[in-house]
Amino acid sequence: MTALTGAVVPRKYLPVLVTAGLFLAMFIAGGTRYEGFFSAQVVLNVFIDNAFLLVVAVGMTFVILTGGIDLSVGSMVALATMVAAVLLNAGWPPVAVIVVVLLIGAGLGLGMGCMIHFFEIQPFIATLAGMFLARGLCYTIGTDSIPITDPTFTAAAQTQVPLGGELWISPSVLIAVAVVGIAAYVLHQTRFGRTVYATGGNEQSARLMGLPVARTKLGVYTISGFCSALGGLLLAFYMLSGYGLHAVGLELDAIAAVVIGGTLLTGGSGFLIGTVLGVLILGLIQTVISFQGTLSSWWTKIFVGLLLGAFILLQRVISGRKK
């Protein structure tokens, strides 16, 4: 049976196919049970509400593919919203604010990458330090929510991009889709992307092959920091505020989306399309609960926990068969 499955569908694609099947099953079940659920706009609304999470999860995918982890992304998102809000209210032009926020995110990500590579600190510890640092900087800037009234950010929050008929998306979705497209190209069409997979598969073998493992590890954490800052800007568009308590626990949602999308926690195997599907599944769970109307929002965490456990077991089964 295993040989037959491997012959029909390569084993590395199995988690992604399971994720896609789960998404379709949830969508069909929701459309059957709830009136108005079975529509394209429901899926588009999931993208609209989770565009910032998708961007953050893209950065997390790079890190996990190398066998690492980044616990700082939620705090980085909050810091990005705070810095953007403060600078905009101080009269800075939006373009300059966006550049500064992205540089801060990439710089902090690079710093954590240096700690992990040059000082051989475990990614969990290094990024945990980054998480506390970024969240602490948020509270140093301010403890209250800071409203954003800049016309550019307000326009980005209120603009609807028509897709024909009554369908529409927000500009944030276009940015998120562009990030996914660029990231997919980098992972599958460049030497850097191939080195990411090789490093996650076996770092020692990648070194012996002469691959630039050091640059790659620094690069993935820089990418994760950049994506976290960009996700923070998208959240600022969405919320029109900066707040130190924004995105609490977002790092766990990003990790869950990547794992549910089929990327192995041990690294070396996974696809960005799986991460996209993982984000959609998390958003669809929230949508189902809102359509139900009688369930607490905490049921989202329960369902995500069950799915995460199931996909970790699936990964274990697949990796066990490889051995």
- Which residue range(s) make up the domain with 317? 2-322
> Per residue in 187-220, pLDDT tens?
999 999 999 999 999 999 999 999 999 999 999 9
Q: Where are the alpha helices (H) located in the chain, listed in sequence order? A: 2-8, 14-33, 40-49, 51-65, 73-89, 94-118, 123-141, 151-158, 171-189, 191-201, 203-208, 213-239, 250-260, 272-292, 298-322
Buried b (16+ CB within 10 A) or exposed e, 164-197: eeeebbbbbbebbbebbeebbebbeeeebbebbb
pTM for this prediction: 0.93
Look at residue 33 in the predicted model and tell me its pLDDT. 87
> Per residue in 104-126, pLDDT tens?
999 999 999 999 999 999 999 99
Q: Does position 227 have pLDDT exceeding 80, yes or no? A: yes
Look at residue 8 in the predicted model and tell me its pLDDT. 67
Q: Write out the DSSP string of 231-292.
A: HHHHHHHHHSEE-TTTTTTHHHHHHHHHHHTT--TTSS---HHHHHHHHHHHHHHHHHHHHH
Q: Which of 167-171, 281-285, 308-312 has the lowest mean pLDDT?
A: 308-312
Band (pLDDT 50/70/90 cuts) for residue 36 is confident
Q: Does position 317 have pLDDT exceeding 80, yes or no? A: no
Cβ–Cβ under 8 Å, residues 179 and 51: no
How many structural domains compose the chain?
1
Look at residue 311 in the predicted model and tell me its pLDDT. 83
Band (pLDDT 50/70/90 cuts) for residue 319 is low
Band (pLDDT 50/70/90 cuts) for residue 323 is very low
- Give the CATH number for residue 294: 1.10.3470
Band (pLDDT 50/70/90 cuts) for residue 300 is confident
Q: Which are the contacts of 284, defined by CB distance < 8 A and separation ≥ 6?
A: 23, 26, 27, 30, 46
What share of the chain has pLDDT > 70, as a percent? 95
Rounded to an integer, the average pLDDT of 239-268 is 93
Look at residue 2 in the predicted model and tell me its pLDDT. 45
